[in-house]
Each structure stands twice: as C-alpha cells, then as structure tokens.
Amino acid sequence: MTAPAPAPAVPAPAAPRIRRREWLHILTRAARTPRGMVGLGLALVVVLIAVIGPFVVSYPPLAFVTVPGSPPSAKFPLGSDILGRAVVLDGGWQLLLMATGAMIIGVVLGTAAGIAAAQLRGWRDGLIMRTVDVILAFPQLVFALLLVSILGPARWLLVLAVGISHVPQVARVMRAAALDVSERDFVKAVEITGVRQSKVMSGEILPNLITPLMVETGLRLTYSIVIITGLSFIGFGLQPPAPNWGYMINENRIILTSNPWAVVAPAILIAILTVGLNLFTDAIARVALGIERAEKIIAEAAGTGIVSEIPA
Amino acid sequence: MTSGTGPPRLVVEGLTVRAMGSGAAIIEDVSVEVAAGEVLGVVGESGSGKTTLGLAMVGHARRGLEIASGSVRLDGTGLSSLPADELRRLRGAAMTYIPQDPSSALNPALRVGGMLKEVLTAHGRTDAEAAARVQEVLAEVGLGSRPEILSVYPHQLSGGQQQRVAIAMAFACRPRLIVLDEPTTGLDVTTQRMVLETVARMCASYGVAAVYVSHDVVVVGELSNRVAVVYSGRVVETGATADVFGAPAHPYTQGLLRAVPSPERSGRLVGMEGVPPRPGQRPPGCGFAPRCPLVIERCTVAMPELVPTGRAGQLARCVLVETGQAHTEGTLAPAVDKDLTKAAAPATTPVLQVTGLGASYGSNQVLSGIDLTVPPNSCVAIVGESGSGKTTLARCIAGLHMNWTGDVRYAGQPLPPGIRRRPKEVLRGIQYVFQNPYASLNPRRTVGGLVAQPIQTFAEGRRVRDDSEILDALRAAALSVEVVNRYPDQLSGGERQRVAIARTLAVSPRLLICDEVTSALDVSVQAAVVELLRRLQHQRGLAMIFITHNIALIRSIAQQVLVMHNGQIVESGAVADVLDHPRAEYTRQLLDDVPKFSAAMTSSGDAQ
Amino acid sequence: MTADVAPAPPVAGAKQRAHPVARLIWTRTALGLVTLFIVSILIFAATQLLPGNAATAVLGHNASASAVRTLQLRLGLNKPPATQYWDWLSGVLSGRLGTSLANGQSVWGLVGPRLLNSFVLVVLAGFIGAFIGVGLGLFAAIRRDKPVDHALSVGALAVTSLPEFVVAIFLVIIFSTVLLHVLPGVSPLESNSGALKPWQAPKELVLPVAALVVVIVPYIFRMMRAATIEAMESEYVEMAQLNGLSRVRVLLRYAFPNAIAPTIQVIGLNFLYLAGGIVLVEFVFDYPGIGQGLVNAVADRDIPQIQFIVLVLTAFYIFMNILTDVVTLMATPRRRVPR
C-alpha cells in the first residue's frame, strides 16, 4: 500500500536526533518518586549540616569550654565531649569530600576497565578481569587498613585505597552491561556500515550504559562513606584534631552514660546520610529499570558489593 | 450450534475480562460453545485478547485482570461461582491447559517423572495408579520408549520433547476440556507437524472438547472443526472452519486470509495497514472500522451484533452482514497479474557469487560447500530451520562473521571476509535488515536520527544538511513522514521494521539481505512487509537475499530458492520447480510437514 | 509418527564430559591459589617493601639509628626483596609465623585463639542471619504488597545502608548503657590466656552476633523476597496453578527451589562480607577476635601479625567465593546437569 499523498508540510529538521542528557531525566524522575524524595531529602539535610555546621557555631569548635562529659544545657545543646569541647556537628564535609573522591576513582577506573575488557575480548579480557579480581580478594576495609598500616593514614592514600577497592565490582557490572549492549542488533547494524569502533562506542554503546553507571555510582558513594567513616572510627581515617564524625563516635564512647549525645548525634547523622543515599539510588534503579526488575538487580548487585561470576 | 452430538460441554456467554486498575476491557461480550470431541479454533493477532480468553476458559485470570461479567460453564457448572478449592479440583483434572512455551512452563527444578506424577496424585490417584498412568500417557505421546525420560530435568529435553511432556501432563487425568495456547510456537516445521498430529489424535481418542488458540490461520484451519475469529477483544466471526475460511463474511477475516502465504500458490500477499487498537483505546463502534477497506458511516456509530450470514452456523459482527451487503465469494486471493516466480533475464554479472563457502565458530564447522548466485533484479530465498546455518551464511556475506573460507564475489570483485577490509562502496552496496525490530533500532535515537546515520557515514565528508533523503527513504518504506521525530519505543513492530528497511534504502544499496525479517510480526503485518520488499526489489532492481524458515512465504517474493539443512544446501533452483517438484528428501519432507489449507478451502475462490 | 529431530536425552547421571561441579571446583581452586599467591605478594609489598624504610615507620622518626639498624637486621630488610618475600612465604607455609614486634610473643600464639573466636562469631552470625533473612523474605513475598511487606521492605532498605559500627553502637546504647543494661558492652574474654572459649561465655556473644546479623539480614531478605516474587510470577508457577496444585505445594516445590538459588549466592557473599565486618564489630565490643587483632596490630605497626591476619582473611575470602559458587551451581539443576 502506498503512502498517503505527500503533504507539503515537512517536520522541522531541527528536531534533536539523539536523546540527550538522559541521566538528568532519570535523576529528576527519581527525585519525584516518594522514595526518591525522602532519600534525597535526608541526604541533602545531612550534607547541609556538614557544610554549614562549622560556620553556625558561635565559638571555635575546638576550644575547651566546659567540664568533659556534661549533659546538654542551654548553652551547649548537645553537651560536651570527652575533652570538654562542645559537641557540635562539625566534622562531616571532609568525610564527604573524601568519599566522593573515592567514588570517582572507583567508578572511573572500574568503568574503563570493564568496558575495555568487554571491547577487547579474548585473552585481554581475561587478563584485565583477573587482575582486577585480585583486589576482590580483600575485604574493602582490610584493603584500606593494609595500605595505611605502614604508610600512615594520609588522606590521599585513604581516598586512593578505598577508590581502588571499588574497582572490581564496578568493572564487573560495567563489563557485563557493555557485553550485553554490544551484542544487540542495533550495534551490529551500525558496525555493518563500517563505522569506526570508537564512534560505535560513543554513539551506540556508552549512551545505553547510563543506567548501570548511575546505580553503581550511587552504591559506591554510599559504601565509600561507610568505609571511610569506619576507618575514622577506629582511628585510621581522618586524624584528630580535624573533627570527624567517625572518630567522634569512638572517642566519646566512654562518656556514653553521662552524655550520650556526643556519640548519638554523629551516629544519627551518618545513619541518615547513608540511608538517604541508598533510598535515592534505589529510586534511580526503579525509575530506570521498572520496579520488579530493579528489586532483583539491586538485591544482587548490592549483596555485599560483590557479584560473583559463575562459569557456564 | 456445535458440530458435535449432545449438549455443548463448554459454554461461554457474554464473557468480559477487564484490567483491574484501569477497567479497560481485554475481551468483551464473548460467547462461544464447544462440544465434546470438537476442536474450536480461536484465531487472533497480538492484542486481540485470545490468550486471555483461553485462560478464562479454564477459570483463570492473570494478575491484574478479573472476570467482570458473563459466565463460563463446564458441563453446566459455572466456573466463577465455584469456591477456590472446587476450582482447584477441576483444574488439571477436568480442564487442562497446554502452554505456549514449555521451556518456561515446566518447573526447572523438578524431574519430568515427578512433575507428571504430581498432577495425578494431587487429584486423588494413589502412587501406584499414578505411576502406571504416567507410563501409559507417555507412551501415547510417543515418549514411552525411553525410560530415562522420567528422571531428566526439562532443560535436558528438546523443544518438541518438552511440548510432548506438556501434552502428556494435560491428558493424564482424562480431562473433559483442553485449552491449547499456540503450542507449536518456536518449534521447527517437522516437530510442529508431530505435535499437531499428536494433539489431533489424542483429542479424537479422548473425546475432549478442545480449544486451540493461535495466530496461525493455516494451523487452525487444519486442526479445528469450528473457528472463532477474535479482533480487538471481541468475536468478529464464527462458524464451521470450512465456511469461515472458505467464504469469510467479515472484512477482517477476509483481510487475514489475503495475508496468509501459501507454498501452493504464487500471489501477492496483501497486508492490512494500521495496528489493532489497544485495550482501553478501542473506538466506539466496530473495532476494525479504522482499518477496514469497506467501512461506511454506520460502522463507527455503534458496535454491530453477531448476526447470521446465511450459511448455517456462521455468524459475523459486521454492519454489511446485517444489511446483507457482504461479499463472501472469491475473497481468498487476488488475481495474480503475472507469475512472480519467473526469474529475470540471466547472463549479466551476478551481484553476488558464492562458491564453496565454508564457515566455522571456533573449531566447529557450521557451513560447508555453499554455492549461491544472486543475479541483479532478483530475489533468492534461503529456507531452513533453526540450526541450518542460514543466518551464519547471511552474516558471512555481510561481514559480521569473519571465520569463513571460499570464493565470494560481489559485482565480480572478490569480497574480503570482514568489514574492516571492505572498501566503502562495497559496504554501501550490501545492506542488512535484522530479524528483531525491537532490538535493531537504538532506543535513544529518533527515527530521523537512525535513518540519517548511514547517510552520514557514506556521505563522504560532506555534512548532510537537509532531510530530503531521510524523508524519501521513509516514504519509500511506506511510513508516514511524521514518524521522523519519534523514538522506536513509540512505534509498532511493523513500523519499526519499516524504519529498519528505510535505513537501508537511504543509501541505495545493490544487495539487500533480509534475515527473517517477518518472524517476529503478526501475519497481516508480515504480509505488508513482504509485499513492500517485493515491490521495492522490483522497482529498484535490487538483488535480494530473503532468509526465512517459513517456506510458505517464498512464493510471494522470490524467484530462486536454496534449501539448507545442517549447514549444507540440499536443494536449489527456481521456486516453482523446487516447490512443485522437490527432488531432495528433506525438501519433500518439509513440504509435507508444512500446514496447508485443505483442498476443500483452496478450491473455492482461488484464481490462478 | 515422524522421528523427533532432537537427539535422545542422555541417560540420567551419565557423564559424557567432566561433571560441571567437579570442573568448577578444579578451575576455581587453581585460579584461587594463583590469586592467593599474588595477594600474598601484595600483602608483603605493602608492609615490608616500602619506599622509605619499614623499620623507620615502625619505630618512628625519632628512633635512634642503632635501633633502626637492629630492627632492619631482624626483619631482614637489607636483603633483596625477592629473598625477603621467599623467607616470609616459606615461613608461613611451614608454620613458622615469626614473632610479634609488639610484645615478642609468637604470632601464632597471639593470633591462634583469636581465629577460633572470630570463627564462632562468623558462623553464628552467618547461619542465624541466613535463616532469618530467608524466612522473612519468603514471608514478605507471600504477603506481597500488604502492609507487612511494605514495612519489612522499607525497614530492610533503611537498615541495609547503615555502617556496621553504627549498628553496633546503637545496640550498645540500647542494650548496654543508656536504655537497658541487659548485656555487656565490652567482652571480658581474654585473648592471651585463651582460657575462656566463646561458648563458655554466651552472654558476651549476643550483642556482637546481633550486630552482624542485623547488618546482613536485609541483603538476604531482599534477594529472597525478589527471587520468590519472580518465581511466583513465572510461567511454571502459573502452569502449576492451572494444574490445580495446592498453594502450599506450589510454594514449596515450585517457587522456593527456584528462588533459593540466587539467594544462596547472596548468603555466601554475606559470609564473605563478615570477614571484613568483624573488624569494626569486634573493635566496638572489644571482642578478642582477629578483627580486633588486626586493628591492634596496625596500631602497633606489628608487621608479622598484620601480614598473617590479612593473609588469613583473604584466604578465607577466596575459599568462601569458591564454596558459594559451587553450592549455587548445585542448587541450579539447569547448570548442574548438562544437556
């Protein structure tokens, strides 16, 4: 059957040919779901406190101002800590910065490794993944501890260590996704016209990897925060006297009975931050994958931060 | 109004199934009857609601759906009024279901013997009785000679064997009603023939009332005594199979039959434009009116009733039938202007010449000794089952598979194995249309972007500024130019496949390889796409390779045919020769096994 | 009747090629040993082959030159790196683990009893967590979309994000110090004497195990719930319903066996996680396991202890990975039995 008689009106040629900024659309859609709203809200509250906290107090936070371990009072709403300093909510922004740095390192290196392995195939694929898997043999916390054990807890080393410990998981997820996409017919349809591999990668494969990339970014950020605060907690993360929430929790355990707020306040902040981030990552996954698929995939990918590979 | 004796066993009256959330009707006001020993065919395309109807006949509704009104009665017992455990007692014993895809319908964690016994013991048989019955019914379906069958897992069986297990499970408790949902989907022709024979034999010997739900008009025509044609959730025509398919009264049935390919007659397939309306978006009045070539004013006002057509037992839901204006004779196939299978003049350089091609995956040899010649302005069909190597052959020619040997010449020049080593002119000249229209278009590009891509690739540096080439290609593929700004997920399967075709036309190829391009489409859409390809090949003098597993299609598009089996060519030649006088045993077997309309139906209204 | 074109199904149990489970064990074990070898090099390099001087790092920058030299000799830091590594590796393999730099005792004497304590913790937490997780997941899937399911799912989501030391601290606050005073916040088990075995002081185990259980249950719960729901939505479950099988039967023989396979994988990976999780939890409760041992060793820069404990942890990791893969494979007939 022939098409209807050609109409003179032709659609505007300036219409965009490629869906751009899909990641932004996913983020905004996720932020509008109930889960996303709560998660984003919680996380932003804590980030706000972390950033603004130091400027709000009317006295230098490190000054010794009162009896150690005194309960909350009008002057010091959260009481004082073990050293007699006022408990203030300072000590978050450095943690956040370090965690973000670790996340970026992990995601960038892991994605590069995963995609390279998927594209190169053959023995190079095996080599990259086996190399990366060596890191997988270490619990993330233990890996970081190992590196700082002799060299000391320098901030750059912490960020690097935690970042590197993320690489295997990110690489696995991105490799699996890249393999899946590159097998699809629409990629072959472009390859068959002789387009350069790099163009195939940038035009066809990468744009379709947005979803796993976003989910992994969210998960990695959350885990980075967990590990770095954990390290700070046992004293091998951010060092005093730089205030940090992880160390505060440990430091003030002894005075739990006299002023629990010195421990509870930073603990609650960390908890709210991680819960909020996780909720938002979940919302992103749901928006991009549909509710039922997202549940199973997140359950698998977030298992312990590792997805094991079973050979057929 | 059944053909069996005695009262009908299954009576469906005014059945309406709705989606719980939106209230949209999936099937509406459906009334059918089935007698014992009779097979009722339910024919419909995607979106017709036929699967939902089939499930409702055994009292089941999928998650999110509910039976809103009407009744289903089995031997007088209304199913919807039964308490849950009564219904459970009937299911699997008195009324059973044979699923479409046995590989996902059989529990992967249980062994076959256990599954079969379980159905029996759950319905009151003792262990000993169950074991004996399992042996018995397995023998009936032709699996009785292998005792190991009881202890294997489903995934260890072939598709045909799995389906036979499903059939055995359905007949184990000697049911009164069986509903079959396209049980031969995905099976190759020979296995399909075997399954259909088994089903027909057992239905007859058990005297069950059977309902065969399918989109495959020819299979339904072979198997059923009576048929109900479903469109947009309603029964639009029903009657004895010979009547409905021999002299259809409803325009949709007529259109459907015009679209059905046959290995026995050469003719242009006529497809139906447009898509069926989705549940919840059905127009007032007749659901088929937007696409009907015979539509009149009255059709869009109100839903017509099912009225008799004049032949005993045949009813149709059409205004024209009501007013007595329907034409029922001679609608099966249009007059054929010329025999499409006549080859074009030979003795010019073939566009593609393949000699002694062999190919392997790793160390596995999958093709050997392939010879193929594609002259200009002609179409060569390659027919084979899955595993025959036809897709591998296509990929070798296209450059997607590099591990091959042999002499291949394109336009007289030797063709290198991979894409990297081919000059641009060659890449442009050989174009490929993929099987799955849902996977061959990048979901993130608009239609315009997708068609523009190859244009840009072969534009030799100059930036393609205006869209006239894109729009021309879309028009050539019979698409409305409005789709240029849409994304693939906003298009139907048929439209997507046309976009894929437009994409190849945009760069004016010389050789077009079509790899099973209609396997994922409904019959009416398939017909339209095949006819489009035929026309394009003719108009542009293209050389075309048309790969399919459906031997019935080739007469409507190709002049030469290659029959492949196990990586080798078993027969080749002109289409008319091979189909009418097959020489190879495999080809003969294939043609025997292909479902055909019975002689009684093709003789009426067929102009050759 | 025409012959079926497919080959005859293999006789059940026949082994035409190597059994997939055996094949998996062999290849993964070989791979695991190679990985362990490379890991050991990494561990050694990170602690002993450092730019600058390990001895200086241990003793501090204010140490006297002679003290540094003594330590260097003792650690063999002046030998070529390969020799150092071989000395260490051969020592480990033959049971000579060296002496602690912190207090001069044998590393095995220090770490040995801790191994047992941590092992008990991991096993208890792992199994209890697995049972609770699977049970709750199944329950939530059956009561899908009802209030109970929503509550459990959101709860799991919330808890799953919490760092383990935060969970531990909250437990201490609730049960030991601030709200209730039921359970001890620190453990009196002494590591040196090794006299008290964990099961002889069960009260000390409750909170550490509880902390670990709370951390791992949400992961197992989520996977079990998702996998069970997916199984319940599957075509084979629908088929079972159409065959009139009872709800209980469908759940137990159709849904559960297919849902448990991916869940087993998550359970195994959580055992893996516990190897790292015990570090912080033992620290909070002062529980004398290898987690706490590692923290102390790092604080003291006690190189031999650090090396040994990390080696044990990574070996456990690799082993658990293999075990998980094997058990998951065995729970999946489609993979376990070849076509």
- Which of B426, B442, B490, B517 is the best mutation test for A, with the most CBs of A within 10 A? B442
> What pLDDT score was predicted for residue C179?
61
Average pLDDT of B591-599? 78
> How many distinct structural domains can be found in chain B?
1
**Interface of chain A against chain B, CB under 8 Å?**
1-4, 6-7, 10-11, 13, 15-19, 22, 184-195, 204, 207-208
Q: State how far the alpha carbon of C287 is from the alpha carbons of C129, C186, C313, in Å.
A: 20, 7, 17
Of all residues in chain B, the percent with pLDDT exceeding 90 is: 43
- Extract the runs of DSSP E, i.e. beta strands, from B375-488: 378-384, 404-410, 413-414, 430-433
The 3-class secondary structure across A40-52, one letter per residue, is HHHHHHHHHHHHH
pLDDT exceeds cutoff 50 at B363:
yes
Which residues does chain C have within 8 Å of residue B87's beta carbon, measured at their own beta carbons?
244
pLDDT of the residue at B211:
95
Per-residue pLDDT at B43 = 93
Rounded mean pLDDT, B534-539: 90
**pLDDT grade, residue B605 (50/70/90)?**
very low
Q: Do A311 and C46 touch (CB under 8 A)?
A: no
**Residues listed for chain B:** 608
Task: Answer whether B570's CB lies under 8 Å from B405's CB.
Answer: no
Whether B366 is in a domain gets the answer yes
Q: With 0-12 CB in 10 A as exposed, 13-18 as middle and 19+ as buried, what is B68?
A: middle
Quote the mean pLDDT of chain B.
Answer: 87
Looking at the domain assignment, is residue A89 inside a domain?
yes
- Asked if the structure places residue B237 within a domain, the reply is no
Say if residues A135 and A194 touch (Cβ distance below 8 Å). Answer: no
Residue B7 has what pLDDT? 82
The answer to whether residue A106 sits within a structural domain is yes
Torsional sign, CA A262, A263, A264, A269: positive
Q: What is the pLDDT of residues B395-445, one digit of tens each?
A: 999 999 988 999 999 988 899 998 988 998 999 999 999 999 989 999 888
Q: Is A264 on the interface with C (CB under 8 A)?
A: yes
On chain A, the residues whose CB falls within 8 A of the CB of C230 are 292, 296
Give B373-403 pLDDT, tens digit per residue.
999 999 999 999 888 889 999 999 999 998 8
Cβ distance B436 to A192 less than 8 Å, yes or no, reads no
pLDDT for the residue B433: 95
In chain B, residues with a C-beta closer than 8 Å to the C-beta of A1 are: 271, 273, 478, 528
pLDDT of B337 reads 45
Tell me the mean pLDDT in the region A198-221: 88
For A84: left if phi > 0, alpha if psi spans -120 to 50, otherwise beta; the answer is: left
Its ipTM equals: 0.84
Tell me if B371 is assigned to some domain: yes
Asked whether the beta carbons of B133 and B172 are under 8 A apart, the reply is yes
A228 to chain C, any CB pair closer than 8 A? The answer is no
Closest CA to A96 of A202, A229, A197, A252: A229
On chain B, the residues whose CB falls within 8 A of the CB of C244 are 87-93, 119, 122-123
The CATH number of the domain holding residue B547 is 3.40.50.300
How would you write B342-353 as a 3-class SS string?
CCCCCCCCCCEE
Average pLDDT over residues B28-54: 91
Q: Sign of the CA dihedral B98, B99, B104, B109?
A: negative
Q: Shortest CB distance from C177 goes to which of A229, A257, A275?
A: A257
| B460 Cβ contact list (under 8 Å, min separation 6) | B424
C241 touches chain B (CB under 8 A): yes
The answer to whether residue B361 sits within a structural domain is yes
Angstroms from B454 CA to nearest CA on chain A? 7
A312 to chain C: nearest residue by CA? C335
Q: What are the structure tokens assigned to C302, written together? A: 């006690």
pLDDT at B310: 79
A11 in a domain, yes or no? no
Residues in a beta bridge with B432: B513
Q: Give the pLDDT mean for B453-463.
A: 81
User: β-pairing, B568-574 with B560-565?
Assistant: antiparallel
Q: What is the pLDDT of residue A62?
A: 60
Residue A282 lies in a domain: yes
Residue A272 lies in a domain: yes
Q: Which two tokens stand for residue C317?
A: 């990791």
- pLDDT of residue B72 exceeding 50: yes
> Which residues are CB-contacts of C129 (< 8 A; sequence separation ≥ 6)?
C212, C213, C216, C217, C220, C270
Domain that holds residue B501: 352-598
Sheet of B77-78, strand order: B25-34, B10-19, B65-74, B77-78
Beta carbons of B69 and B16 less than 8 angstroms apart: yes
In angstroms, the CA B578 to CA B572 distance is 7
Name the helix (H) or strand (E) containing A53: helix A34-56
Please determine, for residue B552, whether its predicted confidence score (pLDDT) is greater than 50: yes
| CA closest to A130 among chain C residues | C35
The pLDDT value given to residue A153 = 80
Burial of C206 (0-12, 13-18, 19+ CB in 10 A): middle
The pLDDT of residue A69: 66
Closest chain B residue by Cα to residue A1: B478
Tell me what the pLDDT averaged over chain A comes to. 81
> What's the domain count of chain A?
1
Q: Which of A69-73, A259-263, B431-435 has the lowest mean pLDDT?
A: A69-73
Question: Which of B55, B92, B160 is nearest residue C244 as measured by Cβ atoms?
Answer: B92
The 10 Å Cβ neighbour count of residue A77 is 12
State which residue of chain C sits closest to B148, comparing Cα positions.
C11
Task: Please list every residue in chain A whose beta carbon sits closer than 8 Å to the beta carbon of residue C157.
Answer: 275, 278-279, 282
Nearest chain B residue to C331 by CA: give it: B109
Whether the Cβ atoms of residue A162 and residue A227 lie closer than 8 Å to each other: yes
Instruction: Give the pLDDT score at C8.
Output: 41
CB pairs under 8 A between A and C: 182
pTM score, two decimals?
Answer: 0.85
Q: What is the mean pLDDT of residues B206-220?
A: 91
Chain C CB contacts of B92 below 8 Å: 242-245
pLDDT for position B135 = 92
- CATH number (domain holding residue A284): 1.10.3720.10
Cα–Cα distance measured from residue B138 to residue B149, given in angstroms and rounded to the nearest whole number: 9
At C321, which amino acid appears?
A: N
pLDDT attached to residue A18: 67
pLDDT at B599 over 50: no
Contact B552, B263 (CB under 8 A): yes
Give the per-residue SS3 of chain C. Answer: CCCCCCCCCCCCCCCCCCCHHHHHHHHHHHHHHHHHHHHHHHHHHHHHCCCCCHHHHHHCCCCCHHHHHHHHHHHCCCCCHHHHHHHHHHHHHCCCCCECCCCCCEHHHHHHHHHHHHHHHHHHHHHHHHHHHHHHHHHHHHCCCCHHHHHHHHHHHHHHHCCHHHHHHHHHHHHHHCCCCCCCCCCCCCCCCCCCCHHHCHHHHHHHHHHHHHHHHHHHHHHHHHHHHHHHCCHHHHHHHHCCCCHHHHHHHHHHHHHHHHHHHHHHHHHHHHHHHHHHHHHHHCCCCHHHHHHHHHHHCCHHHHHHHHHHHHHHHHHHHHHHHHHHHHCCHHHHCCC
* pLDDT at residue B515 in the model: 94
Cα separation, B167 vs B97, in Å, equals 9
Has residue A63 been placed in a domain? Answer: no
- Rounded to whole angstroms, how far apart are CA atoms A104 and B150? 55
B598 has pLDDT over 80: no
Residue carrying the six token digits 């007032």: B284
Per the structure, the complete domain to which residue A256 belongs is given by 27-51+78-293
Q: If residue B359 lies in a helix (H) or strand (E), which one and from where to where?
A: strand B352-361
* Cis, bond preceding A241 (omega within 30 deg of 0): yes
Q: Which residue has the tokens 């060296």?
A: C98
Could you tell me where the DSSP H helices lie in B14-83?
A: 50-57
At A28, which helix (H) or strand (E)? Answer: helix A22-32
Q: How far is the alpha carbon of C186 from chain A, nearest alpha carbon, in Å?
A: 11
Q: What's the pLDDT score for residue A257? A: 75
Bridge partners (DSSP) listed for residue B179? B97, B211
Q: Of the candidates C12, C233, C258, which has its C-beta nearest B108's C-beta?
A: C258
> Which residues on chain C are in Cβ contact (under 8 Å) with A149?
46-47, 297-298, 301, 306
**Section A48-68 average pLDDT:** 69
Query: Minimal CA–CA distance to C212: which of C141, C145, C287, C111?
Result: C287
Overall average pLDDT of the B508-529 stretch: 90
> What pLDDT, on the 0 to 100 scale, is given for residue A102?
95
pLDDT by residue for chain C (339 residues), tens only, comes to 333 333 444 444 444 455 778 888 888 899 889 999 999 888 888 887 766 566 776 677 677 777 777 777 777 777 777 777 887 888 877 777 777 776 777 778 888 888 888 999 999 999 999 999 999 999 999 988 899 999 999 899 888 888 989 999 888 888 877 666 656 655 554 444 445 566 666 777 888 899 999 999 999 999 999 999 999 999 999 999 999 999 889 999 999 999 998 899 899 989 988 988 899 999 988 888 899 889 988 888 888 888 889 999 999 988 998 898 888 888 888 777 776
